[in-house]
Amino acid sequence: MGKIKPLTGKALLQRLKELDGVSRKEAAKLCGYYRVTKSGEVRVNLGKFYEALLAAGGLEVHSSEKEVNSQSGRGRSPSYRVKVHQNGQIVIGAAYTTAMNLKPGDTFKIQQGYKHIHLYLIDSEIDSEDVNGAPRN
């Protein structure tokens, strides 16, 4: 059986009317929503079939968060919340370091306050002074 181009729009709806009484899986296959694996097994893609069916009915559905958040094209947006891991460490992700234009090897001073932690970037130019401007001991 030769691979056919997946049907969309009115052609998909018309073909489904012709296939009355056929199972959903078989209908998806007959409308072109399948692939053949290296071993020759036919795999039906019901997800793409349902998306095309909804789009043909006038309802656009985004299949993934990546399509919804097309601004960055790189997964989730940062939540600005972190949790302490089991080993006591806090991991700051790449989304935050990229937003702050940080480079590998940048050094920080950690200052603990009441219910908060401040991270101060230590510039190599002011390396001999404290973050607050006082000389280091």
> In the structure, what pLDDT confidence band is assigned to residue 43 with cuts at 50, 70 and 90?
very high
Compute how many other C-beta atoms are within 10 angstroms of the C-beta atom of residue 38. Answer: 5
pLDDT computed for residue 79 by the predictor? 81
Digit-coded pLDDT (tens) for 109-125: 989 989 888 888 888 65
pLDDT computed for residue 130 by the predictor? 52
Q: Is the pTM of this model over 0.85?
A: no
pLDDT computed for residue 137 by the predictor? 45
